[in-house]
A = this chain, B = another copy of it.
Amino acid sequence: MSTLTSINARTGEPQGKPLNASTMEEIDAAVQAAAAASDTWATSDGTQRATLLRALADALEADREMLVARADLETALGPVRLNGELDRTAFQLRRFATIAESGVPFERLDDPAVAGGPPVGHPAMVRQRVPLGPVAMFAASNFPFAFSVLGGDTASALAAGCPVVVKAHPGHPGLSQRVFGLIQQVLKAQGLPAGLIGMVQGASVDVGVELIRHPLIAAGAFTGSTRGGAALQAVANARPRPIPFYGELGSINPVVALPSALAARGAELAITLAGSIALGCGQFCTNPGLIVLIDGPESDEFVAQLAKALTTQKPHPMLTAGMRTAFDAGVRQQQELGAQTLVQASGEGLAPGPKLLQVNAQRFLERSGLHDEVFGPSSLIVRAASVAEVLAVLNAVGGSLTVTLWGADEDTPDNRALVRGATAIAGRVLFAGVPTGVAVTAAQQHGGPWPASTAPMTTSVGDAALERFLRPVCLQDAPAWLLARQGVPC
């Protein structure tokens, strides 16, 4: 039987006894239990869903000290960040509670009968949205709370009326077990079926593949690497009955810093950007991996300022030794493809030093290997000769969670073209600040064209995340008893 081990992220030492990976039988049992809870939960009302979500938030907060300590041990992300992430996780559970309670996503669209023949005449129709059924949720390594067992995918799926089976991330198995224990206590206290939120675990890909293949799973939600997400999506599509798969994958998050912005506040922006590059050891899906500059003295000075600011950053250890190896390999690949190294600070133990590389736009456009995400505290500067070259660079990136555009303050043809170019490839376009830090709000859009997401019309953060788990259904000439019910039909 395959096992997985909790690792101290700072020392690389195993913690405690190895855990057993879920067997095929256990995966099947978890999905069967979720499916058995499906009708009950689909017909629950907003108040009941809100009560569960709030109790889960309360449980996280009540166990904060132990949870943060365990998370810190397994991820080395540090107590400040982890307390903040726990806050966010509780916040989004409560936000989805409020949304479920409001009933807005479940409101019906009434389309009364119109007398006469087609195309004008039609029968009475009602459009509403129904929960999909059990969701397979794949936890991420880099957000042990907010994109993990009780993260946004779980919160939004539960709010939509769907049971969840979590595939825990092997990077923090101890934390996942503890959170899952809290969940089970809450479910029991509320008299809800234990199977409403299930969990499976494993260090190999087999567990996730088995989960997404299960015939009773109705959708998948994933946050992680492009390779992992693409592989699971292929499995979801190859099922006898394909299902929606929401993968939030890789992103290099270009930052376009125009000369006007750099002239006005280059020194300040360099410090802000250096902080964003190194934040959380660069382990954010919105980490700014590409900085696009237009040749000129402001850009030259900014590069020097950025290099200096980055050198002072001291990243903490990466989440796993494997990520550290992949980071070094990614930087090496950029060097081999012709990028010049500006900052190559040496690391300490499992903590890498920050890196800054530079390449000209022509080279960037020629070598698609330079478009790959390097996960960690590193960024690649692309020097463009013109706005046209900046646009070509954005077009070559193709899909990104974010594009940041500093200095587009005036309505000019160039700025319009840049906004269009940024909007064409990104889910979120920022005109100030840095892309790290994804607010959980009504307007948030965390997604984008491939490879940012497998489903660019959807978001995995923000209120609209709930919509991923509801399917529209039209009821035609529905009987009075059915129309008298609110929310889901039966």
Complex Cα–Cα for A241 and B424 (A): 14
Top 3 A-B residue pairs of the complex, sorted by shortest distance between their CB atoms = A111-B443, A122-B439, A127-B443
Complex Cα–Cα for A91 and B116 (A): 14
A411 in contact with B489 (CB, 8 Å): no
Q: Give 22 pairs: A residue, B residue, CB < 8 Å, sorted on A.
A: A84-B118, A87-B119, A88-B119, A92-B119, A125-B439, A125-B441, A125-B442, A126-B443, A127-B443, A127-B444, A127-B445, A237-B237, A241-B450, A242-B454, A409-B479, A409-B481, A416-B490, A429-B476, A445-B474, A449-B471, A457-B470, A457-B471
Q: Which has the most chain B C-beta neighbours within 10 Å: A123, A133, A398, A476? A: A476
A449 in contact with B241 (CB, 8 Å): yes
Complex Cα–Cα for A475 and B429 (A): 5
Closest residue on chain B to residue A108 by CB atoms: B443
Interface string of A179-200 (1 = CB under 8 A from B): 0000000000000000000000
Find chain B residues with CB under 8 A from A165 CB. none
Find chain B residues with CB under 8 A from A433 CB. 123, 476-477
Interface string of A446-465 (1 = CB under 8 A from B): 01011100101101001010
A489 in contact with B419 (CB, 8 Å): yes
Find chain B residues with CB under 8 A from A472 CB. 427, 445, 447, 457, 459, 464
Please report the total number of A residues contacting B with Cβ < 8 Å: 80
Residue A437 CB within 8 A of the other chain: yes
A interface with B by C-beta (< 8 Å): 39, 84, 87-88, 91-92, 109-111, 118-120, 122-123, 125-127, 130, 133, 233-234, 237, 241-244, 398-399, 408-411, 416-417, 419-420, 423-424, 426-433, 437, 439-445, 447, 449-451, 454, 456-457, 459, 462, 464, 467-468, 470-479, 481-482, 489-490
Find chain B residues with CB under 8 A from A133 CB. 424
Complex Cα–Cα for A478 and B430 (A): 7
Nearest CB of B to A414, in Å: 11
Closest residue on chain B to residue A408 by CB atoms: B479
Contact of A419 among B91, B477, B490 (CB under 8 A): B490
B241 in contact with A431 (CB, 8 Å): no
Complex Cα–Cα for A11 and B84 (A): 74
Known: A133-B424, A431-B479, A433-B476. 15 other contacts (CB 8 A): A122-B439, A241-B449, A408-B479, A409-B479, A410-B481, A419-B482, A419-B490, A423-B490, A427-B472, A428-B475, A429-B478, A432-B476, A444-B474, A457-B468, A462-B474
